[in-house]
Amino acid sequence: MREIESLEEVRRVVAENVDYVKSFYTDGHKLYRRMHELAPHQYVVHQKQWVAGDVHVSFVENAWSLFKRGLVGMYHHVSTKYLQEYLDEFAFRYSHRYEKGKLLDLVLASSSY
């Protein structure tokens, strides 16, 4: 995992990792300016507003907040070597957050031993 620093890199990474997307909603960061080349793109500039009609990034901000709190609360330290595994775990938990009491069943059903 590495930091992405250019418009071309953002576009390339998104194109390589997203099969289909109906539209993009982002914040107003300059690195997202060419997203409209891949799909319709709308954004909010947080210095001015948090929501513009249906456009917001609250879900992403919520997911990152839970991830950061989880790391500090459970693991205290994360090496870059295993960062993707931690992100996968929290993405799974976030995606199934409304399935209370079923997470163990989901994990066992998806495991191959």
pLDDT in tens, 24-78: 778 878 777 777 777 787 787 766 776 767 776 667 777 778 888 888 888 777 8
Q: Is 47 helix (H, G, I), strand (E, B) or coil?
A: coil
Query: Structure tokens of 23?
Result: 């539209």
Rg (CA), the chain: 17
pLDDT of residue 2: 64
Q: Quick check: pTM over 0.85?
A: no
What angle separates helix 83-95 from helix 58-70, to the nearest 10 degrees?
120
Query: Structure tokens of 63?
Result: 């997911």
CA distance 19 to 85: 22
Q: Are 4 and 83 in contact (CB under 8 A)?
A: no
